[in-house]
Structure 1
Amino acid sequence: MNQSAQPRVSGLEVRSIDYVPLDERHGKLWHLGPLWFMSNAQIATLAVGLISITEGGNLVWSLLAIVAGTVIGTFFMAFHSAQGPQLGLPQMIQSRPQFGYIGALLVWLFAYVQYAGFNVFNSILAADALHTTLHGSVKLWVVVVTAVALVIALVGYDIIHKAERFLTYTFLVIFGIFTVGVLVTLHYPAGSFDLGAFKWTPFLAQFGVVAGYQISWAIYVSDYSRYLPPHVTVRKTFYWTYFGSALGGIWLMVLGTLLAAWAGKDFETITSINAAGDKVFDGFGAIVLLFAALGLVSVTALNMYGGSLTLISGIDSFKRIRPTLGARLLTIGLTAALSLIGALSATSHFLANFNDFLLLVLYLFIPWTAVNLMDYYVVRRGHYAIAEIFNPHGIYGRWGWHGIIAYLAGFAAMIPFFSVGTLYVGPAAKALGGADISLFIGLPVSGVLYWWLTRSIDVAAEARLAEEEAEALERAAHDHQEP
């Protein structure tokens, strides 16, 4: 396994998909809290809280759907976090033991599309916020946002953690005031808090989008915990990730629902935030938007960073790639360029269908997260021969048919329950009045099927191989050698 001899060159992170050796592990467990809080506490998350209101649901049931969707969706995402310190690997490369050296390309392709899709939306939203407050061309601001995010992503892991901690502290002040203003100064339609006005379809639509949004973070999680020492406990890693992400998500989604209920058909993210902020005092809306733009820059950097790791993983499946600073620069640059092209060419039609995009993300990653978590926590119980993950002829094989079959079966089982706006409503969803419960189908089908298919795996033999390779793995991480 080719590795980098030094973790940093002139302050820039060098490591990418390679194993992080024990003597380079650093950071504090609580840093995961602000990182995942701020990753969710940015105004793109507002859009996730609009579904129920726009489909005829009332405010109180929209709020309950948001809380329920966040509680359940974040549960799966946070369990991925413990994989980082234990394995010292980014998230998506960990798909090889389940899907195979080549077979993992299936989920990597979907992951890369997700990174690009979110970045198009995030950079346009940030550019609109800057255009509203500082004026200038939206397209110019898209370029500026992309360039700044690229620099942050290139510097890498440590600067991303530090930026998210700083933004968290600032967020608590600015958005704390803004949220109090929204609760105190805005008025809502009659019946907004009527518990008797329950409607299944908007409730489940809101629940599904929220759960999907939270689960969509699963492909990022180990990327930002893999430098932590391996002795950190699974439980505490889970808690810091779970509560950080859940609190940030609920806060912003609730704000989105409150603003949409207040503004009604006139709701537009930037305009409504600006107007609601100015009700606190003149000019406060601009302050909120300027800070919100910084939050969007940071999450755009997260997407570039994760997109780079995914792209390197994909390239490595065809040609062994040495994880160097040059590889990071090339793949981050390519990811930024693709996002920039998408943002500059995007139309209002793309933005209007962002929630459909979120549902598609849910559909694609429900089976993957079920397979990955079942493998880590039940089948192999955290024991992986890490060097074999980088061996095209290793024990995990080129095609992991257990994972691929479980994934495809889970996805196929979900199709009748899909309900994606005007794009597609499956027969089961139609029978349920348009309600989408595919989440509850895909998770158990993929997870249980994967467990059943992998009963013959000799986990003890894999664990012994991992112990035998451990010393060589550490040595190779410093010496550019094959373990």
Structure 2
Amino acid sequence: MFMEKHSIDYIPSHERHGKARSLFTIWFSANAQITTVVTGVLAIVLGLNLGYAVLAIVIGNLLGGLFMAYHSAQGPKLGVPQMIQSRAQFGKIGAILPLILVIVMYIGFFSSSAVLGAQALSGVLHLSVTMSIIIVNIAAVLLVTIGYDLIHTYEKYVAIVFVILFLYISVRMMQFLPHVHSTPVPFHWSAFLLVISIMASWQLTYAPYVADYSRYLPENTSVTATFFWTYLGSVISSSWMMILGAMAAIIAPKQSADMVQYLEQLSGTHWFFVTGIIIFLGVLAINALNLYGGFMSVTTTLGAIRHLHVTGWQRMLFILSVGAIGTLISILGQGDFLTEYSNFILLLLYFIVPWTSINLVDFYFLRKGKYDIEGILGRNDAYAGINLAAIVAYVIGVLVQFPFMNTTLHEGFIAKWMHGADIAWVVGLFVSAFFYYLPMRLQMNRELSKTQLNL
């Protein structure tokens, strides 16, 4: 296993390797972690009983996973990272807009997950949380520095450990569940739809970097195989972890507010240390992906402004820089600030939805996977400047969601009228697709007509 030498450049055919089934373990492990469990608690906090919480969790992940997995299928076909593909839709300069938002999101999730991993490590090693944050993030930096192959290998083997732990946790919770006496909760469609949106959004957050982990696969890897293994790994793991979170909120509402400590205690005295270490390993599994995607997005952004030929040392410098910023935010934000920052990150998810829609419509319905790779890499003017059609569709897709949003930072008037139901992401997907597809279809038809006339 060698240190990865590529960053945002094209992966040539002779360096392609691996099987699509490796995507199952990377996305299973990425979701088999404490942040996913904590997200599942929201289904109960927002007013659902356990039965409807489980249903909403599964539906949300099934829906959101569709878009996430179709992004993954782009990797083998194009051989470049996910976000640099945006140049084909937005233009080399125009793609900076979604890139900046994605960078903020990466660093935010990296920082918040690091705090949870540090709490687990601190509990078992009796270190300060600050020192534990530094250890967690150094481990992520080392993993990402070596790169793609080590990340895949790590996720493959820790998946086995995660299955064992969470099967044990599941059995323990099932033992307690029959003895829980809870007050019947009336069903509200608004809460049900809101939970579906949150769970679907969880899957959509992976869209900006999911193809990063399939781009080394051979070019003849089928869309079906790439989609299938990515979808199963992510949806199964996310749904399982979130259901555990919902169960914890029913069994022990107060104790589960500190989910790290609750899972360690639930494991029992003999498994306390092991559980804490595995929670740390789970955070490392997702934070390696956050850091890997973050440094490549920073590189892509800078490369749009000034041509970069990223050397091994420059690659390491980018990784260290993004990791250092995330670590600083984690240390400074151990209290209320990090909670507010996390709310801000959740709001950013609505800005990812139109990008997802535009990218998928362009790839599957307009260009059908046929792109000028040299143009994407900025070596010719095929995608230079700004594509106004994409920018306009993106802005409309963001703005149209605001009346439908229901977050701690903003609740739209339509969401209020719907008693808190949030369907903003659905509206954003379809509206941005419509406003991108029509002008681009007309533009492509005009270009085709000119070409035929010249012939």
How does the TM-score come out when normalised to structure 2? 0.94
Structure 1 letter corresponding to 2:264: N
Q: Which residue of 2 aligns with 1:135?
A: 126
Structure 1 letter corresponding to 2:301: G
Secondary structure class of the residue paired with 1:226: coil
Given that 2:108 and 2:345 are in contact with CA atoms closer than 8 Å, whether structure 1 keeps it comes out as no
Structure 1 letter corresponding to 2:64: G
Q: Which residue of 2 aligns with 1:454?
A: 440
Bigger mean CA deviation after superposition, 73-82 or 448-457: 448-457
Q: Which residue of 2 aligns with 1:427?
A: 413
Q: Which residue of 1 aligns with 2:261?
A: 271
Distance 1:271 1:388 in 2: 50
Q: Which residue of 2 aligns with 1:4?
A: none
Q: 1:362: how far off?
A: 2.4
Match of residue 321, structure 2, among 322, 334, 337: 334
> What per-residue deviation string (whole Å, max 9, x for no partner) do you get for residues 426-453 of structure 1?
1111101111110110000001211101
Q: Which residue of 1 aligns with 2:332?
A: 345
Q: Which residue of 2 aligns with 1:408?
A: 395
Q: Which residue of 2 aligns with 1:163?
A: 154
Given that 2:43 and 2:195 are in contact with CA atoms closer than 8 Å, whether structure 1 keeps it comes out as yes
Q: Which residue of 2 aligns with 1:179?
A: 170
Distance 1:31 1:377 in 2: 24
Distance verdict in 2 for CA 1:164–1:436, change over 3 Å: same
Q: Which residue of 1 aligns with 2:40?
A: 49
Q: 1:170: how far off?
A: 1.4
Q: Which residue of 1 aligns with 2:3?
A: 12
Distance verdict in 2 for CA 1:42–1:68, change over 3 Å: same
How does the TM-score come out when normalised to structure 1? 0.89
Q: 1:29: how far off?
A: 1.2
Distance 2:219 2:389 in 1: 28
Q: Which residue of 1 aligns with 2:349?
A: 362
Distance 2:154 2:320 in 1: 20
Provide the aligned length of Structure 1 versus Structure 2. Answer: 448
Distance 1:232 1:461 in 2: 31
1:146-157 to 2 correspondence within 5 Å?
146-157=137-148
Bigger mean CA deviation after superposition, 159-168 or 174-183: 174-183
Structure 1 letter corresponding to 2:189: W
Q: Which residue of 1 aligns with 2:79?
A: 88
> What per-residue deviation string (whole Å, max 9, x for no partner) do you get for residues 370-422 of structure 1?
0000000001000001101123761223101111111111111101111112x
Secondary structure class of the residue paired with 2:254: helix
Q: Which residue of 2 aligns with 1:479?
A: none
Q: 1:206: how far off?
A: 1.6
Q: Which residue of 2 aligns with 1:242?
A: 231
Match of residue 231, structure 1, among 207, 217, 220: 220
Q: 1:207: how far off?
A: 1.4
Given that 1:58 and 1:191 are in contact with CA atoms closer than 8 Å, whether structure 2 keeps it comes out as no
Distance 1:43 1:179 in 2: 14
Secondary structure class of the residue paired with 2:163: helix
Given that 1:73 and 1:212 are in contact with CA atoms closer than 8 Å, whether structure 2 keeps it comes out as yes
Structure 1 residue ranges without an equivalent (≥5): 1-9, 466-483
Q: 1:49: how far off?
A: 0.8
Q: Which residue of 1 aligns with 2:430?
A: 444
Match of residue 106, structure 1, among 69, 94, 97: 97
Given that 2:115 and 2:334 are in contact with CA atoms closer than 8 Å, whether structure 1 keeps it comes out as no
> What per-residue deviation string (whole Å, max 9, x for no partner) do you get for residues 103-144 of structure 1?
101111111111101111111111100111121111111111
Structure 2 letter corresponding to 1:312: T
1:279-358 to 2 correspondence within 5 Å?
282-353=269-340, 356-357=343-344
Distance 1:188 1:46 in 2: 22
Distance 1:43 1:20 in 2: 33
Match of residue 190, structure 2, among 201, 207, 216: 201
Match of residue 62, structure 2, among 71, 78, 103: 71
Secondary structure class of the residue paired with 1:29: coil
Q: Which residue of 1 aligns with 2:246?
A: 257
Q: 1:288: how far off?
A: 1.7
Structure 2 letter corresponding to 1:452: L
Given that 1:118 and 1:303 are in contact with CA atoms closer than 8 Å, whether structure 2 keeps it comes out as yes
Q: 1:187: how far off?
A: 5.1
Q: Which residue of 2 aligns with 1:476?
A: none
Distance 1:413 1:54 in 2: 27
Distance 1:460 1:39 in 2: 44
Distance 2:424 2:79 in 1: 33
Secondary structure class of the residue paired with 1:396: coil
Structure 2 letter corresponding to 1:154: T
Structure 2 letter corresponding to 1:431: W
Distance 1:64 1:348 in 2: 33
Distance 2:381 2:166 in 1: 50
Structure 2 residue ranges without an equivalent (≥5): none
RMSD (Å), alpha carbons = 2.0
Distance 2:142 2:334 in 1: 27
Q: 1:456: how far off?
A: 2.9
Structure 2 letter corresponding to 1:226: R
Equivalent pairs: percent with the same residue? 36
Structure 2 letter corresponding to 1:80: H
Structure 2 letter corresponding to 1:402: A
Q: 1:190: how far off?
A: 3.7
Distance 1:63 1:183 in 2: 14
Distance 2:444 2:311 in 1: 34
Distance verdict in 2 for CA 1:188–1:417, change over 3 Å: farther
Secondary structure class of the residue paired with 1:12: coil
Q: Which residue of 2 aligns with 1:478?
A: none
Given that 1:277 and 1:285 are in contact with CA atoms closer than 8 Å, whether structure 2 keeps it comes out as yes
Given that 1:101 and 1:399 are in contact with CA atoms closer than 8 Å, whether structure 2 keeps it comes out as yes
Q: Which residue of 2 aligns with 1:6?
A: none
Q: 1:461: how far off?
A: 7.7
